[in-house]
Amino acid sequence: MSPLPRRIAHLDMDAFYASVELLRYPELRGLPVVIGGGRNPQPELLADGSRRFSRLRDYAGRGVITTSTYEARALGAFSGMGLMKAAQLAPDAILLPVDFDGYRHYSRLFKAAVATVAPRIEDRGIDEIYIDLTELPEDSLTLARRIKQAVKDATGLSCSIGISPNKLLSKICSDLEKPDGLTLVDMDDVPTRIWPLPARKIKGIGPKAAEKLSALGITTIAELARAEPALLQEHFGRSYAAWLHAAAHGIDGRPMVTESEPRSISRETTFERDLHPRRDRAVLSEIFTALCGRVAGDLRRKGYLSRTIGIKLRFDDFRTVTRDLTLPGPTADPVAIRRAAGECLRRVPLERKLRLLGVRASSLTPVNASPPDISSAQGELPL
Is 300 among the domain residues?
yes
**Percent of the chain's residues with pLDDT above 70:** 93
Is 168 among the domain residues?
yes
| pLDDT given at position 376 | 36
Do 287 and 328 fall within a single domain?
Answer: yes
| pLDDT given at position 368 | 66
Least confident of 25-39, 246-260, 344-358, 369-383: 369-383
User: What is the domain count for the chain?
Assistant: 4
Do 293 and 350 fall within a single domain?
Answer: yes
- pLDDT of residue 381 exceeding 50: no
Do 305 and 356 fall within a single domain?
Answer: yes
Is 347 among the domain residues?
yes
Is 383 among the domain residues?
no
Do 284 and 358 fall within a single domain?
Answer: yes
Give the list of residues 6+ apart from residue 109 with CB closer than 8 angstroms, or none. Answer: 154, 155
Do 271 and 332 fall within a single domain?
Answer: yes
State the average pLDDT over residues 364-375.
58
Is 259 among the domain residues?
no
| pLDDT given at position 318 | 79
Residue 286's domain comprises 264-369
Is 174 among the domain residues?
yes
Do 91 and 108 fall within a single domain?
Answer: no
- pLDDT of residue 260 exceeding 80: no
Do 92 and 124 fall within a single domain?
Answer: no
Residue with the larger pLDDT of the pair 58 and 190: 190
| pLDDT given at position 337 | 96
Neighbours of 317 (CB within 10 A): 9
Q: Is 247 exposed, middle or buried (0-12, 13-18, 19+ CB in 10 A)?
A: buried
Do 180 and 108 fall within a single domain?
Answer: yes
Q: Are 325 and 306 in contact (CB under 8 A)?
A: no
The torsion angle over the Cα atoms of residues 141, 144, 146 and 147, rounded to 10 degrees, is 170
| pLDDT given at position 121 | 95
Q: Which of 69, 98, 127 is the last residue of a domain?
A: 98
Q: Which of 190, 214, 231 is the last residue of a domain?
A: 190
| pLDDT given at position 117 | 97
Is 169 among the domain residues?
yes
CA distances from 90 to 32, 55, 75, 78 (A): 8, 9, 6, 11
State the average pLDDT over residues 318-340.
93
State the average pLDDT over residues 288-300.
93
Distance of CA 345 to the CA centre of its chain: 27
Whichever domain contains 125, its CATH number is: 3.30.70.270
Do 272 and 365 fall within a single domain?
Answer: yes
DSSP letter at 31 equals: S
Give residue-wise pLDDT tens across range 114-142.
999 999 999 988 999 999 999 999 999 99
Confidence of residue 208 (pLDDT cuts 50, 70, 90): confident
| pLDDT given at position 108 | 95
| pLDDT given at position 38 | 61
Confidence of residue 1 (pLDDT cuts 50, 70, 90): low
Confidence of residue 373 (pLDDT cuts 50, 70, 90): very low
Confidence of residue 317 (pLDDT cuts 50, 70, 90): confident
Whichever domain contains 46, its CATH number is: 3.40.1170.60
Is 215 among the domain residues?
yes
Do 273 and 319 fall within a single domain?
Answer: yes
Cα distance between residue 297 and residue 75, in whole Å: 38
Do 218 and 309 fall within a single domain?
Answer: no
Amino acid identity of residue 205, one-letter, is: I
Amino acid identity of residue 360, one-letter, is: R
The set of catalytic residues is 128
Q: Which of 72, 98, 124 is the last residue of a domain?
A: 98
Give the list of residues 6+ apart from residue 227 with CB closer than 8 angstroms, or none. Answer: 216, 218, 244, 245, 248
Residue with the larger pLDDT of the pair 115 and 259: 115
